[in-house]
A and B are shown apart, each in its own frame.
Chain A
Amino acid sequence: MEKLNVLVCDDDSAIADALEIYLKHENYGVIKAYTGAQALQALSEHEIHLILLDIMMPEMDGLSATIRIREERNIPIIIISAKSEDTDKIAGLNFGADDYVTKPFNPLELMARVKSQMRRYTALGSIALKNGILKTGGLELDREGKELRVDGEIIRLTPTEYGIVVLLMENMGHVFSIAQIYEQVWNEPSYSAENTVAVHIRRIREKIEINPKEPKYLKVVWGIGYKIEKY
């Protein structure tokens, strides 16, 4: 199989070099660039399957580069930036990035995100959806096979966890409170204050999310309840 190529673009060469090592370890081809302009140049010269892009760079910053790339290309872009404000993240995603990772990042988490994006980008053709399959982003619930897959990988869940996921997936975007989840999944009225549900949710997140503290799918709406995001 042909090697998948990742374009690493960061003006700090130490970071670019480190990323190169990690990516090569994951069997990706790596092309390095140190400015936005070089990134565009590299993109036109090589076949690239994914871009890791810093924001604060000389000669065209990462956001401008993202806009330019999105004008003609559909390849996954993961922004890696020291800017950690919500507004920065929102801006990056709105300009066309697929993911946003803040510095300093956990290299393992970043690799997981790269793999996730890559799997979705390179999945040959679109898998014909069977009946009873619910899908949001890379998360697929096969109710007939009683299986949950993230980016194609099967996740092992306990029956209670599976019940919670089914409830939330069937009502994607809807927020359920702890009491509602308890009553519907346990089939018992909730009397006492219990944090059982919260504990289960946390475990599910640890199984399906790359970074459970910043969940992509199973989100906590603080003081209100939980939901599975609809993509």
Chain B
Amino acid sequence: MDTKLKNTSHFKWTKLVAIIIVWLGFLGTMGGCFYLFENRHIAKSSSYIETYSFENNFSELLYNTVEHYVTLQNEANIKYSTDDLHTEAENLLRFQRIKNQLSAIDNFFYYICNTENGETWSNLAGKTADPIQFIQKQPANAYFNAWTSDSSISISRNVESLMADSPYETYAAVVEPLQAGDLFYDDYMDYMQTKARINAATVISIISFILMAIAFIYLIYITGRREPEGQIVPDRTGRMYTDVHTILVLIAAMLSLFIAPGISVDVPKVLSIIAIAVVLSLDIFIGLFYVLSMVEQIKTGQIFTNTLLYKLGSALNAFLRLAFQGKVFKEWILLLLLGYGLINGLLFILCAETYRDYFGGVPFLFMLLLLLAFNAGSIYFAARSLVALPQIMEAVKEISAGNLDYPLNSTLIPASLAAFAEDIRSLQGGLKKAVIAAVKGERMKTDLITNVSHDLKTPLTSIINYVDLLKKENLENEAAAEYINVLEEKSSRLKQLIEDLMEASKASSRNLAVAGEKVDLQELMMQACGEYEEKIQKAQLELHILAADEAIFVRADGKHMWRIAENLLSNVIKYSMPHSRVYVDIASDNAYGTFTIKNISAFPLNIMPEQLTERFVRGDESRSTDGSGLGLSIAQSLTDLQGGKFQLEIDGDLFKATVAIPLWAEE
């Protein structure tokens, strides 16, 4: 827990540092790039003379020089060339201004000569013997005459127009290295400074960018993690919906784009830089948190689920499911309903529109027929689905009642319920398979028991026969005679066991024929008690039969009924307390005829009645009297087989067995 907290706080701090690095790096990168962009011409230029600033200054000076010497020439010429005093004054002023300007320049040199009279003007006098060659040697030079020009740099002022139709040739150049003290030198100094700054800005930009990138990648890496190398834990709390977030970020970006150009106008430069930095900072924070949020949601796989659209969609979906009780209505049924409404509405509108008796009411009649036909068709379609439903319900009822071969006629079932019907059919098939497998397994078990019983009977026959033969021998030994008696008793017990085992397996597997005869329950119990009369007396029991006034007819198999009665009565004889009474009640209710046998057990019955009907369970497991322990199980199976109910009750030492068999119903 501690380490976890530590890790979390560790992450918090590094995260904060990384965010600050991204922020500063972004500002640095943006600032540097902005500076580079602002001074892109200087950055691009390889030397000062390639700059616009130099070209402008050079062009202006050249122009002014030409104007001064070629156009204006001198004060006399100015006065002579125009009558307009105002123009004259202006030209004089300009002449003087240019003169002053030229005198302040130290690095600009010119050589102008008149080709007609050989008159020249130059500020190169005394500096060089061949001014033309000197000028042409300079990297920034220009040559103009009346018809052509030849310059090493581009001239932005229209010097040609001044030179046109004049006999002059003009040579001009800025001589390097530059001398301190004039416009060009100052400008050059500025250029050099800017150049140095550009280099610094480039380095700052690159370093800032690299730092920002590293910090950014780190942030992306740790986003969503609670500990280093740990699981990515989705943070559901306080998370904005992705799409809402995106829209807000876009709005912020638009706002900053609107604001940014407005800042640089009419504001001192420092202020505007601060303002832009603030706006950029806001943008980078908004953008960074947006990106990190997206990254986290991509990592946790919530990018699409955590959207307002998705939430609205699933809410709508849930609502629709609720509204239509889910599952039952599929999407296409909804579409079908919508389609039905749409087409009906359309037809109705068309009906209403055509009602105004165009073309003798024929279109209206046509539309009305179309409307009626469409609705009739829809109702027929719906009705067919509804009619098919009871059919499917009937099939399901039959299947659940055990009729697994009930055919579900697929030709009458419409497409909308076909899949449902198909599912029921496959369910039916699966059930049938299971039942067949179960029946097969039970039959195999019965067959196994039958076969084993047959195989046991043959050796048992020999045992019984030879025990009998041995008994007939004149054995002197008394003990031997006693042993033979034990053998005889046990071999007959074995015989009984085998027979009961076969019968129990047949009865419980329902592998037994059952005749539905009209059996008088009273007659049956009389007969059964008659068969057991002597044994009952021998067991010192008193039998009481409580019969109904009239015969009770049940639908049963007489032989099976006898077997049930026989098993119950032989139990009574085996397990009843001597000198107690045994009651046999015969009665009926509206559906069943019942007989109940009650006796007092000679031994405590500390066992659940349900266990008594389980095979091989006997009331007292330690006893080794005769009986296979299958009697009650067989009785129960046979009762079930005849559609009856077999019930055992134990109340202290009172043992009560009730057999209820469906009453005989005349067809």
Contacts and interface: CB of A to CB of B under 8 A. Distances in A.
A115 to B, nearest CB: 17
Nearest to B586: A193
Contact of B521 (A21, A82, A223): A223
A223 B529 contact: no
B457 A82 contact: yes
Interface in B333-382: none
Interface stretch (A66-74, A99-107, A152-160): A99-107
A75 interface: no
A220 B460 CA distance: 29
Most buried by A among B463, B522, B554: B522
Contacts of A4: none
B516 to A, nearest CB: 12
A112 interface: no
Nearest to B468: A107
B521 A104 contact: no
A199 B465 contact: no
Contact of A15 (B458, B521, B526): B458
Contacts of B457: 82, 84, 102-104
Contacts of B517: 223-224
B527 interface: yes
Given A104-B464, A178-B527, A223-B524, A199 B533 contact: yes
Interface string A176-204: 01100000000000000111111101100
Nearest to B546: A193
Interface stretch (B63-71, B105-113, B556-564): B556-564
B94 to A, nearest CB: 144
B530 interface: yes
A12 interface: yes
Nearest to B543: A195
A220 B559 CA distance: 9
B454 A195 contact: no
Contacts of A199: 530, 533-534
Given A195-B529, A199-B533, A223 B558 contact: yes
B374 to A, nearest CB: 68
B466 interface: yes
Contacts of A222: 519, 524, 527, 558-559, 561-562
B520 to A, nearest CB: 5
Interface string A77-107: 0000011100000000000000000111111
B531 A104 contact: no
Nearest to A223: B519
Contacts of B458: 12, 15, 82, 103
A174 to B, nearest CB: 15
A123 interface: no
Contacts of B468: 107-108
B487 interface: no
Nearest to B527: A198
A224 B520 contact: yes
- Majority SS at the chain B contact face: helix
A18 interface: yes
Nearest to A194: B526
Interface in B530-588: 530-531, 533-534, 545, 547, 554, 556, 558-559, 561-562, 586
Interface string A207-220: 00000000000001
Contacts of B545: 193, 195
A19 B464 CA distance: 12
A1 interface: no
A93 B517 CA distance: 25
B450 to A, nearest CB: 8
Nearest to B584: A193
A14 interface: yes
Nearest to A16: B462
Contacts of A224: 517-520, 523, 558
Most buried by A among B465, B466, B519: B465
A177 B461 contact: no
Nearest to A13: B462
A202 B533 CA distance: 10
A86 B219 CA distance: 90
B55 interface: no
A198 B559 CA distance: 16
A83 B461 CA distance: 13
B326 to A, nearest CB: 57
Nearest to B548: A193
Interface in B461-481: 461-466, 468-469
A168 to B, nearest CB: 15
B465 A178 contact: no
Given A193-B547, A222-B527, A12 B462 contact: yes
Given A223-B558, A224-B519, A18 B462 contact: yes
Contacts of B518: 224
B663 to A, nearest CB: 13
A225 interface: yes
Contact of B529 (A22, A108, A198): A198
Most buried by B among A18, A193, A223: A223
A226 to B, nearest CB: 8
A193 B526 contact: yes
B182 interface: no
A221 interface: yes
A104 B461 contact: yes
B653 interface: no
B283 interface: no
B499 interface: yes
B461 A103 contact: yes
B526 A14 contact: no
A15 B533 contact: no
Given A104-B464, A198-B527, 6 more contacts: A15-B458, A18-B469, A82-B454, A193-B522, A195-B530, A223-B527
22 contacts: A19-B465, A83-B454, A84-B502, A104-B465, A104-B491, A107-B468, A177-B520, A193-B545, A198-B528, A198-B530, A198-B531, A198-B533, A202-B533, A202-B534, A220-B527, A220-B562, A221-B558, A222-B519, A222-B562, A223-B554, A223-B561, A224-B517
Interface of B: 453-455, 457-458, 460-466, 468-469, 491, 495, 499, 502, 517-524, 526-531, 533-534, 545, 547, 554, 556, 558-559, 561-562, 586
Which 10 A/B pairs are nearest by Cβ-Cβ distance?
Answer: A198-B530, A223-B519, A222-B558, A223-B524, A193-B547, A18-B465, A82-B457, A104-B461, A222-B562, A195-B530
